[in-house]
Structure 1
Amino acid sequence: MGIRWNSPLIQVLAVGFICFCCPGIFNALSSIGGGGQIDSDVDENANSALYACFSIFGLFAGAIHNKLGPKWTILIGSLAYPLYAGSLLAYNHTKLGAFTIAAGAILGAGAGLLWTAQGAMMMAYPHEEDKGKYIGYFWAIFNMGAVLGSVIAFGLNFHEPQGNLSDVTYGVFIGLMVCGSLTALSLARPHNVVHNNGDHIRIQPYPKWSREILAILKLFLDWRMLALTPMFLSSNWFYSYQFSVVNGAYFNNRTAALNNILYWGCQIFGSWSFARILDKKGITRRKRALIGLSIVAVAFIATWIGGIFFQLTFMTKPKVRQDFADMKGSYIGPLILYMLYGANDAAWQTYCYWLMGTLSNDATVLSRYAGYYKGVQSAGAAVAWRLNGVGTAYMTQLIICFALLVASLPGALFFALRVKDHSGDDDSSEAVHESKMELESKSS
């Protein structure tokens, strides 16, 4: 059938491009430290507002997505990204933080919509045997945006190692974000997405908002979500530490941008290579779940132990942020550590999505799981950014990150031991039953 715009793979790649331009560029901007500002207090407060709103809107975005569909949900959500980048540009000239903090809150709402719709598409559109591959494809394209953004920031600010990001840098970022947002208008309706073998995407509509909200609230009583909640909570908690402390406080903007080129590059490698393991043929899905958990557990523990040794070399913000040209050979160790942080993050989040994808093949059901995941994840990030904003000791932040990651392993193991070879239909069947009951009540 050739390449079709309404094929599941092309649709996921299209969403990858949107995230390349919006969250990808945002990640490049955020991971420099302070959003490219010398004084990072405003950016840290904006991130607290961002993730607090992200948590609320992420949780209920599944209901919005199931009513509006991915096109409008993603369009509305993605338009918040250029607004936020514009607020940082305005702060460079006005030093008025209220606009930036408000834009962060708006971005939190938009990101909740975008990421919930994206997660539902990424998990529901592929066949069961290809879910890891689709996640890997998406994560690679999405993080190419962060790599490109970091390259732009590094190149345009190469001769100003200690200064703010230039207006040109922000202008380029805003232009890319607008381009990505408008791409959402081209997305196909889920009912029109068809596999090459003629299979359609599974979608079970809920006619009433009340049933959508009830279905979302039921997730808090679902043992599967409860088992994964610590893993979800920890999955973005460490960003504030990695971006604001390791990269933002220790390195200057030029070196931070260089670090991010490799950090996000390792995200591409980490997700793609790990996804191949999760889709390995000839091995039961439960065994793949256990192998995947073993890999991420060992990798995270080893990396964060290395992080402790590096953190011991600076307990407060250095008076002069380090530049790679001055550090010479001593730069290699921290750079490798930071790259491993990136690779581990990609594997961790790929694993979270893959585990949720084992539960269902229905886009309606998976949108709720994605919303729950992003809601819990963002609640953790909001707390983490606030801890960073109030000046929590660097080592304390590291220990909290490490402890949360370790604490999430028992629940993940409990879940992995119960993974089935084929996605269950319980939730989908419930959706069908409730929809029929509601339609029958309307007709009577």
Structure 2
Amino acid sequence: MGLGSEEEEQRKEEEGTSLPPSPYRYNSPLVQVCLIGLVCFCCPGMFNALSGMGGGGQIHHEAANNANTALYTTFSVFGVLGGGIYNLLGPRLTLLAGCSTYVLYAGSFLSYNHSHRQPFVVFAGALLGVGAGLLWAGQGAIMTSYPPPRRKGSYISLFWAIFNLGGVIGGLIPFILNYHRKEAASVNDGTYIAFMCFMAAGAALSLAILPPAQVVRDDGTRATATTYSDVRTEAVEILKLFANWKMLLIVPAAWASNFFYTYQFNNVNGVIFTLRTKGLNNVFYWGAQMLGSFGIGYFLDFSFKSRRTRGLAGIGAVAVLGTGIWAGGLANQLRYTNGKWEDPLDFRDSGGRFAGPFVLYFSYGLLDAMFQSLCYWVIGALADDSETLSRYSGFYKGVQSAGAAVAWQIDNRKTPLLSQLVVNWSLTTVSYPLLVALVLLAVKDEDAAAEDGESKMPNPSALPASVVDGYDEQGEKSGKTG
């Protein structure tokens, strides 16, 4: 009898033990990072495809350059403020407001196709800067704070791959719709309408993102225990960022990380290739970003046991690759004649002459993803809570956008292309030793970080199933919604 009772109790105990929670739960970090990836696939992914054609798809670049200057000027302000706004409004409202501005921006170029008036395009660009600041601050907080600390590189690369798939699909749109137009021309109306449809879908999808307090990792920890903030707190914390030595060390990398887009889009893809080939090139440019993000993400998570060592090795790898790619860019730039490419290259008609510039443009995409994924990994290693990382990400995007605003005007003022290339190469090169210093001084290995107070919740098996699913025992949502 006694033995039977023990067996019965053991059987009941085993039946009552919860199975490990599925990583595909709606409130899991994996699903939420995939969702924010899809949002960015539809909005900034399509924006990147549009910008990557040079001049926003227009044969003359002045309107797009001025719109992008306005965009990145307001972006530089709202990128910094975006982290605080995210902490006040939560992800859904922040992302919805941000995504909506992308639709208007694409629509402004549709209007420009017929009116050729710049003011609406510039206004839409300025408004997009506000929206992009909100979107990317929210994205940065989600991507760096929702994943478990030991897998941030993998989650960043997953996001980057989904996001840049938008650029791949977006590159196919102008390629297909303008396939028979080899001559220099602006893209047709259907191209802009297709972009607008994707962007509207992204805005709707942003409503599916959960607040961090409702996101439960597989080990039972939550993305954050904080469920609200206030205006005064956010204002003070944002001001502190400008005196934060960690943020100051990342300024050159942030400034450089979008600065090179102007040169690559307008003066490589926009100058060297025919209209239809520009779209095809963008498919491979953003496809290269998917490869680059997966490669550096895996390396930053699994190459060495020590997180600090992984960070230093990652910086070294990107520095070596970046130096080689920019050297190739210099060799290509020396083939221009007075800043112009004499005979535009077509993927079908130019034969072997197409290969070199195409591989270079592909490599620029590869480097961009590796460089930015590395920066986000470093930011994610500086903290583990959503509030702090939303501010860090917002600061990074603000500085990044200020650099981009300057870059678009540098190009608009017809600065020699060789000078633009040298400045881009120099900015990325200067950032590497500063990132090394940041990793050495501020990035701790996981075990040390845990000892310093990373909060841990009980194992999911010790939690009620309803909590693991994102609800408390009373059936109400765990934490306050955004």
Same fold by TM-score, threshold 0.5 exceeded?
yes
- Give how far 1:203 is off: 4.0
* Aligned-partner Cα distance in 2 for 1:319–1:92: 27
Describe how 1:231-380 pairs up with structure 2 within 5 A: 231-280=253-302, 282-314=304-336, 315-318=338-341, 321-380=344-403
1:66·1:367 contact (CA, 8 Å) conserved in 2? yes
Per the alignment, residue 223 of structure 1 pairs with 245
* Aligned-partner Cα distance in 1 for 2:28–2:287: 27
- Give how far 1:410 is off: 2.0
Q: Deviation above 4 Å: which 4+ runs of structure 1?
A: 423-429
Per the alignment, residue 464 of structure 2 pairs with none
- Give how far 1:207 is off: 3.9
Aligned-partner SS, 1:324: coil
Counterparts in 2 of 1:31 and 1:281: CA distance versus 1, 3 Å: closer
Describe how 1:176-191 pairs up with structure 2 within 5 A: 176-191=198-213
Counterparts in 2 of 1:369 and 1:427: CA distance versus 1, 3 Å: farther
Residue 421, structure 1, aligned to residue 442, structure 2 = no
1:236·1:378 contact (CA, 8 Å) conserved in 2? yes
Describe how 1:20-419 pairs up with structure 2 within 5 A: 20-162=41-183, 163-204=185-226, 207-280=229-302, 282-314=304-336, 315-318=338-341, 321-418=344-441, 419=443
Counterparts in 2 of 1:61 and 1:428: CA distance versus 1, 3 Å: farther
Aligned-partner SS, 1:361: coil
Aligned residues between the structures: 429
* Aligned-partner Cα distance in 2 for 1:118–1:303: 29
- Give 1 or 2 for the bigger CA radius of gyration: 2
Aligned-partner SS, 2:242: helix
* Aligned-partner Cα distance in 1 for 2:304–2:399: 34
- Give how far 1:281 is off: 6.1
Aligned amino acid, residue 341 of structure 1: Y
* Aligned-partner Cα distance in 2 for 1:119–1:426: 24
Greater displacement, 366-375 / 182-191: 182-191
* Aligned-partner Cα distance in 2 for 1:396–1:110: 32
Per the alignment, residue 439 of structure 1 pairs with none
Counterparts in 2 of 1:319 and 1:334: CA distance versus 1, 3 Å: closer
* Aligned-partner Cα distance in 2 for 1:267–1:339: 9
Structure 2 unaligned regions, length at least 5? 1-20, 456-482
* Aligned-partner Cα distance in 1 for 2:123–2:96: 20
Per the alignment, residue 14 of structure 1 pairs with 35
* Aligned-partner Cα distance in 2 for 1:253–1:395: 23
- Give how far 1:252 is off: 2.0
- Give how far 1:188 is off: 1.7
Aligned-partner SS, 2:281: helix
Q: TM-score, normalised by structure 2?
A: 0.86
Aligned-partner SS, 2:259: coil
* Aligned-partner Cα distance in 1 for 2:418–2:390: 37
Aligned-partner SS, 1:79: helix
- Give how far 1:11 is off: 0.7
1:360·1:424 contact (CA, 8 Å) conserved in 2? no
Aligned-partner SS, 2:258: coil
Aligned amino acid, residue 254 of structure 2: F
Counterparts in 2 of 1:196 and 1:283: CA distance versus 1, 3 Å: closer
Structure 1 unaligned regions, length at least 5? 430-444
* Aligned-partner Cα distance in 1 for 2:274–2:73: 28
* Aligned-partner Cα distance in 1 for 2:216–2:106: 36
* Aligned-partner Cα distance in 2 for 1:184–1:127: 22
2:304·2:310 contact (CA, 8 Å) conserved in 1? no
- Give how far 1:170 is off: 1.0
Aligned-partner SS, 1:321: coil
Aligned amino acid, residue 402 of structure 2: A
- Give how far 1:282 is off: 4.8
Greater displacement, 274-283 / 379-388: 274-283
Residues 339-373 of structure 1 show CA distances to partners (whole Å, capped at 9, x for unaligned) of 11000000000000000111111000000000000
2:332·2:357 contact (CA, 8 Å) conserved in 1? yes
* Aligned-partner Cα distance in 2 for 1:91–1:74: 27
1:365·1:428 contact (CA, 8 Å) conserved in 2? no
Counterparts in 2 of 1:210 and 1:158: CA distance versus 1, 3 Å: same
Aligned amino acid, residue 124 of structure 1: S
- Give how far 1:208 is off: 2.9
- Give how far 1:249 is off: 1.6
Aligned amino acid, residue 72 of structure 1: L
1:236·1:380 contact (CA, 8 Å) conserved in 2? yes
Greater displacement, 187-196 / 221-230: 187-196
* Aligned-partner Cα distance in 2 for 1:329–1:282: 41
Residues 282-309 of structure 1 show CA distances to partners (whole Å, capped at 9, x for unaligned) of 5201110110010110011110011011
Aligned amino acid, residue 290 of structure 2: I
* Aligned-partner Cα distance in 2 for 1:285–1:318: 45
Aligned-partner SS, 1:279: helix
* Aligned-partner Cα distance in 2 for 1:204–1:342: 37
* Aligned-partner Cα distance in 2 for 1:282–1:404: 28
Could you tell me the percent identity over the aligned residues? 46
Aligned-partner SS, 2:415: coil
- Give how far 1:426 is off: 8.2
